[in-house]
A and B are shown apart, each in its own frame.
Chain A
């Protein structure tokens, strides 16, 4: 990285550190921060969409749909999330391969599950055996995103379901009195008003989502935890120009501080957003703002 980095063993401490922290592997570590941010950027809206669908289903007048929505919320929340992560990654993968198997190899007669094996034809493998490395990686990442979205969708569904019920009932009755159909009432009255009730729950969920990102490591994605373990381990002079002892503790301390700063910054930003959204609303916070201004 720097011009003086040619022979690290002769450098003074601070230059050694500067060179050490800018090796190619460390660059991968810094890039993995973007992996985490990217995951958050994709998962948050996806989870919100799942949550919206789940909450709308749970409110449905049609019984089976309502059960489906409520079941989704209850099951995902009653069982440890990490179990779901481990489950969905394999389950989704097998479901995709099974469907492809059915579509692509119709004349295959053997069962897919043979004892302890899951056998599909070559053409149904996902990703294909001869696919380049990046396809494998992005497939793994996509599975991780979908898994996160399913699990956090249930949490979001719970929050949105509560928020939909918190909208004053008089508002819905008024809409009905004006002759709006249930669909119109839902989209024009209920949905615009529910956000202010949902925001405290959703901001909580955002914090939880941030704190769940290290679990990416368990799903086989090369994230911050992976690199911290990799780079922090003992390095001997035989394999690297930058030998050092077991520094994993310091790497994880850095991660801890990173996450603390991240959650703290989010907290401040979300507080501001809440202040903005409460403006002019018929809630305690909105009322307090009105009084302060008057």
Chain B
């Protein structure tokens, strides 16, 4: 089989398209690259959707945490505390078994016992909590003068938020948010190693890397391939977020613009 055939057979294997049987012996480099790359579909799917949906909930949670109304503040604080204070790995396990219990009386929850929906929900809440805390920190450090200036211009309520507070919050939070995004993509590798079952060997990149490492008993090829893909993904995220960062800072004088300094730290 040429490498082109392999890509045709396994390029979309992670979502169930193409050859059903995984290669069993004489693994070529091409097969490993193709399958692990096809697994990246899931990592990108989880990361992208959780990030996009999480952005809105995070804004809401951050605003809730700054609110003076305790009925808004307390739930937001608890939400952030619970999801940031406990390991993501345990959250996956708990959520899976929780959905499993709910499935018996409420068949609606059947979809959530599958990774594509269930794990997505967990990642969505998790990233919302982490991002919410970042946004909250940014809201706290909005320069007093900017809000006063908005007041002086007669802006209030929604228009003050939309035109002054929100853009500044985003600008201040952006470096932290970039780290969170990178970090979220890394966290997606946990999905198929927690309770969520892999159906029909349709797993993520780490699942296939682990498959090859188990079969060949040689970790020195599949894991570096995985690392290669993730470094590529990380660079892509940094690039895209850097563009947004430039746009958010475009009104500032040249010297005061903050370059995006990326330090992907932390694990959940």
Contact = CB atoms under 8 A, between A and B. Distances in A.
Contact of B86 (A218, A225, A256): A256
Contacts of B215: 116
Contacts of B219: 86-87, 90-91, 94
Interface in A71-103: 75, 77-83, 86-87, 90-91, 94
Contacts, number: 123
A26 interface: no
A77 B182 CA distance: 10
Q: Which of A94, A212, A248 lies at the interface centre, i.e. has the most chain B CB atoms within 10 A of its CB?
A: A248
A232 B195 CA distance: 13
A116 B219 CA distance: 11
A259 interface: yes
B94 A158 contact: no
A229 B268 CA distance: 21
B88 A211 contact: yes
A246 B209 contact: no
A79 B230 contact: yes
A208 B130 CA distance: 13
B87 A116 contact: no
Contacts of A208: 266-268
Nearest to A86: B210
Contacts of A213: 87
Contacts of A252: 90, 93-94, 97
B227 interface: yes
B85 interface: yes
Contact of A78 (B82, B86, B223, B230): B230
Contacts of A80: 186-187, 189, 206, 230
Contact of B90 (A83, A113, A255): A255
Chain B, interface SS category: helix
Contacts of B90: 214, 225, 252, 255-256, 259
A204 interface: yes
A225 B87 CA distance: 12
Nearest to A201: B265
A39 B215 CA distance: 30
Most buried by B among A229, A249, A255: A249
Interface in B198-255: 206, 209-210, 213, 215-220, 223, 226-227, 230-231, 234
Interface in A14-58: none
A284 B144 CA distance: 20
Contact-size category for A: 35 or more
Nearest to A259: B86
Contacts of A212: 87, 267
A143 interface: no
Contacts of A78: 227, 230-231, 234, 264
B151 to A, nearest CB: 29
B189 A83 contact: yes
Contact of B94 (A75, A204, A211, A249): A249
Nearest to A252: B94
B213 A90 contact: yes
A260 interface: yes
A116 B186 CA distance: 29
Given A80-B230, A225-B93, A249 B98 contact: yes
Given A113-B218, A215-B89, A246-B97, A81 B186 contact: yes
B27 to A, nearest CB: 8
A64 B106 CA distance: 61
Contacts of A86: 206, 209-210, 213, 219, 223
Nearest to A228: B93
A225 B187 CA distance: 18
A252 B223 CA distance: 30
A81 B267 contact: yes
Contacts of A264: 81, 85
B168 to A, nearest CB: 22
A204 B179 CA distance: 15
Given A86-B206, A208-B267, A218 B193 contact: yes
A253 interface: yes
Interface of B: 25, 81-82, 85-91, 93-94, 97-98, 100-101, 186-187, 189-190, 193, 206, 209-210, 213, 215-220, 223, 226-227, 230-231, 234, 263-268
Given A214-B87, A214-B89, 17 more contacts: A77-B264, A79-B226, A83-B206, A86-B219, A90-B213, A90-B219, A116-B217, A155-B265, A208-B267, A228-B93, A249-B100, A252-B97, A253-B94, A256-B82, A260-B82, A264-B81, A264-B85
22 contacts: A77-B265, A78-B227, A78-B230, A83-B189, A87-B223, A90-B217, A91-B220, A116-B217, A116-B218, A155-B266, A155-B267, A204-B265, A211-B87, A211-B268, A212-B267, A225-B93, A248-B100, A255-B93, A256-B91, A256-B94, A260-B81, A260-B86
